[in-house]
Amino acid sequence: RVTEAWWKSAVVYQIYPRSFSDSDGDGIGDLRGIEERLDYLSALGVDVLWLSPVYPSPQDDAGYDISDYQDIDPVFGTLDDFDRLLAGVHARGMKLIMDLVVNHTSDEHPWFREHRDWYWWRPPRAGMAGGEPGAEPTNWRSFFSGPTWEYDPASGEYYLHLFSRKQPDLNWENPEVRAAVHAMMRWWLDRGVDGFRMDVINMISKDPALPDGPGGDGSAHYLCGPRIHEFLQEMHREVFAGRPRKLLTVGEMPGVTTDQARLFTDPARAEVDMVFQFEHVNVDHGPSKWDLKPLDLVALKAVMNRWQSGLADVGWNSLYWNNHDQPRVASRYGDGSPLSAKALGTVLHLHRGTPYVYQGEELGMTNAPFDSIADFRDIESLNHYAEAGPDALPALRARGRDNARTPMQWDASPHAGFTTGEPWIAVNPNHKEINAVEAVADPDSVFHHYRKLIDLRHTEPCVVHGDFTLLMPDDPQVYAFTRAHDGVELLVLANLSAEPARVDVDPAWLDAEVVLATLPDERSAVLRPWESRVYRR
């Protein structure tokens, strides 16, 4: 049935093409490289591949600055390579979704030259000269440091860029912009892709008055703005409605609340299937992502619980620990060990929602041991360093996006089997121990644990549909919950700490069937450090 929400029982795997697999030795991953790895992904058991952007781009923000929406950047290959990859994905019974980046284009996109009124242009602040410090039309601060405005001396006006100055924001108030985006999306669907991950899609509707924000935070005027639901419903009508196949749409939405997410993901409203929220990856920092705080497990559980109950009867959750913007979860919420990587995998995959696995997460890949600023590549990190100076290094090491972007660790050879050339960013030296060849050969590896978690979702309806109940909410070490569906109950236990922990649950559970366990002695009421188990009754 085409209306069936097939993605409820699916697991999505995110590929960051630049760092996945390089077929031609230029040190940058490419589409043919992905094609060569499809059997590995198929063995892991994932249902959908999401490709981070592969479109032509000046690569100012690693491809999230797009200069042509309907082609492939030569660094990644050609449209023929893309069609072959898509055929290979479909031949293995998997699906493929594209990254849709339409809050902004590259400043090198022809639209930016040809259609001034497709973007946000504003004169300098009243009484000030263009280009003068403080003359920016609003006080907003960009996600990548500095003001959100770039002065154009030729016109005497500024253009808005929430991200880098090479990523001007499209003005969705203009119906021509919306029509052009819809046409481009239909073109990809007609080519056979199975849906879209929509980059910062809750930023496309702005308050056209563009008021100042407190302390330079303009987010109240561009997050989930006045016309956001209208724009998404229109997109659904123009692009998705009436298609013979049910597609997958996931909206990346920084700052989204559960109440808003219920509206976005209520199938009756026809907007998107699910959203990426950020609350559970904001629990270990202060107001800025660079203000480090240790993980507060009680707070993390409370956030996850709120999202589970918030979308229990209407809408649907996405579940993720990692993506190309987040540090590696094994280092961040774990202790870097394979056992902690497994425990975090167990916890995430047993929640209700659609899980996303980021490349290398299934190997337990860790943060990068970057030495100096010369090791970093990401514009967000480099700009922050330029502003904050060397004191910023510890925070960059802990939180920088490059942690996620070091090459996929395929084997123990010098560049981890990622490339025969010089990789664009250093390979993590721990690839000698952490790599796919070792992991596939070792039945006790993180890889096989993830494979089992994915398989469990495919075979146990309770994992997909079961009601979620958090247990031991105030325990600072143990993450425990049950799922219940159709007479089946699952209990999930994980010790997310380096000390033994006693579990406080109905003792009869400890005699129930063990579905998954990462250490022997699965009947003990004490969990060893980073141990995790799943029971069924």
Residues contributing to the site for ligand ISL (CB under 6 A): 61, 64, 101, 143, 163, 199-200, 252, 254, 289, 324-325, 380, 401
In which residue are the tokens 């239909």 written? Answer: 186
Smallest distance from the beta carbon of 61 to ligand ISL, in angstroms? 5
Smallest distance from the beta carbon of 365 to ligand ISL, in angstroms? 18
Q: Are 100 and 239 in contact, with CB atoms under 8 Å apart?
A: no
Measured from the CB atom, the residue of 221 and 289 that comes closer to ligand ISL is 289
- Residue 57: exposure state from Cβ atoms within 10 A (0-12, 13-18, ≥19): buried
What is the secondary structure of 393-430 as a DSSP string?
Answer: HHHHHHH-GGGGTSPP--SSSTTTTT-SS--SSPPPGG
Give bridge partners of residue 48 from the DSSP assignment: 12, 95
Catalytic, out of 60, 199, 284, 489 = 199
Using CA atoms, how far residue 371 sits from 40, 394, 400, in Å, is 32, 10, 13
Amino acid at 4: E
Measured from the CB atom, the residue of 148 and 532 that comes closer to ligand ISL is 148
Measured from the CB atom, the residue of 289 and 352 that comes closer to ligand ISL is 289
Smallest distance from the beta carbon of 235 to ligand ISL, in angstroms? 18
Q: Is 287 helix (H, G, I), strand (E, B) or coil?
A: coil
Smallest distance from the beta carbon of 168 to ligand ISL, in angstroms? 12
Cα–Cα distance, 398 to 290 (Å, whole number)? 9
Measured from the CB atom, the residue of 325 and 361 that comes closer to ligand ISL is 325
Measured from the CB atom, the residue of 222 and 535 that comes closer to ligand ISL is 222
Burial of 308-327, coded b for 16+ CB within 10 Å and e otherwise, reads bebbeeebbbbbbbbbbbbb
Smallest distance from the beta carbon of 101 to ligand ISL, in angstroms? 5
Pair of tokens at residue 15:
């590929």
Q: Catalytic: 199? A: yes
Cα–Cα distance, 431 to 19 (Å, whole number)? 14
Measured from the CB atom, the residue of 317 and 403 that comes closer to ligand ISL is 403
Q: Tell me how many degrees the CA angle 292-381-375 measures, rounded to the nearest 5.
A: 110
Smallest distance from the beta carbon of 104 to ligand ISL, in angstroms? 7
Q: Is 535 helix (H, G, I), strand (E, B) or coil?
A: strand
Amino acid at 397: R
Cα–Cα distance, 297 to 283 (Å, whole number)? 9
* HSE-CB of 238 using CA atoms within 13 angstroms: 17
Catalytic, out of 22, 61, 169, 252 = 252
Q: Catalytic: 252? A: yes
Smallest distance from the beta carbon of 119 to ligand ISL, in angstroms? 15
Cα–Cα distance, 522 to 347 (Å, whole number)? 17
Four-residue CA torsion sign, 320, 321, 322, 326: positive
Smallest distance from the beta carbon of 338 to ligand ISL, in angstroms? 27
Smallest distance from the beta carbon of 276 to ligand ISL, in angstroms? 8
Measured from the CB atom, the residue of 139 and 202 that comes closer to ligand ISL is 202
Q: Are 312 and 384 in contact, with CB atoms under 8 Å apart?
A: no
Cα–Cα distance, 350 to 453 (Å, whole number)? 8
Measured from the CB atom, the residue of 73 and 325 that comes closer to ligand ISL is 325
What are the residues whose beta carbons fall under 8 Å from the beta carbon of 424, sequence distance 6 or more?
Answer: 18, 19, 27, 28, 377
Measured from the CB atom, the residue of 232 and 396 that comes closer to ligand ISL is 396
- Catalytic residue annotation: 199, 252
